[in-house]
C-alpha cells in the first residue's frame, strides 16, 4: 500500500513537471512563431471575436488553433506514460542517458565473466586435432562396425 502511495506521489510530481515543460514549450513556440501569449485569457477572447465576426481562417490560423488544442491530449498521453513507468526509471533514466551520451558509440559487447579462461597457446596441430574431434562428435559413423568399436572405446575409457 505504501509502495503504491509513493508511486502515485512521484507520478503526480512528474506529471506536474511534465505539464510545466509542455506548456513552457508551447508558450515559447507561440511567442516565436505567432507572437501571441497562449497563457492570457485576452488572447482567447480576441480569437473568439475574430471568429465570430465572420473572418475566414487561413491554414496558418488553423494550424495555430490545432496546436493550442493539442496541449491537452499531449499532456494526457504524457501523464498516462508517466503513471505506468516505475518511478525509479523516472529518476535514473535521464542520468543514465546523460552518462552514456558520449560513450554509446564506443560501447563494448557484454562479457560473461564465468566463461573467461586463460588458455595456453596451442600449436596449429593441436587446433586441427581438436577441430577434427569436434567434427567426429557432430557426425557419428552410422555403420555397424563403428558402433561396436565406439562402445569398446567407451568401456575402456571408463575403466581408466
Domain regions of the chain by residue span: 2-93, 119-159
Contact (CB, 8 A) for 95 and 87: no
pLDDT score of 30 more than 60: yes
Q: Which of 37-51, 58-72, 131-145 has the lowest mean pLDDT?
A: 131-145
| 70 to 36, 50, 76, 77, 127: CA distances (angstroms) | 16, 21, 10, 11, 66
pLDDT digits (tens, 9 = 90+) for 66-120: 888 899 999 999 888 888 877 667 667 777 777 777 766 666 666 666 655 666 6
pTM: 0.51
The torsion angles phi and psi of 91, rounded to 5 degrees, stand at -80, -45
Cell numbers standing for residue 34? 505567432
Contact (CB, 8 A) for 94 and 82: no
Percentage helix, strand, coil for the chain under 3-state DSSP, each rounded to 5: 75, 0, 25
Amino acid at each position: 500500500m505504501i509502495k503504491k502511495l509513493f508511486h502515485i506521489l512521484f507520478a503526480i510530481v512528474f506529471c506536474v513537471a511534465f505539464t510545466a515543460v509542455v506548456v513552457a514549450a508551447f508558450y515559447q513556440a507561440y511567442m516565436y512563431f505567432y507572437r501571441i501569449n497562449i497563457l492570457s485569457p485576452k488572447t482567447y477572447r480576441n480569437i473568439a471575436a475574430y471568429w465570430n465576426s465572420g473572418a475566414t481562417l487561413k491554414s496558418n490560423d488553423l494550424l495555430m488553433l490545432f496546436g493550442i488544442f493539442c496541449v491537452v491530449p499531449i499532456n494526457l498521453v504524457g501523464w498516462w506514460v508517466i503513471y505506468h513507468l516505475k518511478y525509479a526509471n523516472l529518476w535514473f533514466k535521464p542520468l543514465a542517458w546523460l552518462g552514456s551520451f558520449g560513450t554509446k558509440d564506443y560501447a563494448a559487447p557484454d562479457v560473461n565473466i564465468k566463461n573467461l579462461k586463460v588458455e595456453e597457446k596451442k600449436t596449429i596441430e593441436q587446433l586441427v586435432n581438436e577441430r577434427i574431434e569436434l567434427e567426429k562428435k557432430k557426425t557419428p559413423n552410422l555403420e555397424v562396425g563403428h558402433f561396436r568399436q565406439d562402445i569398446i572405446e567407451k568401456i575402456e575409457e571408463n575403466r581408466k
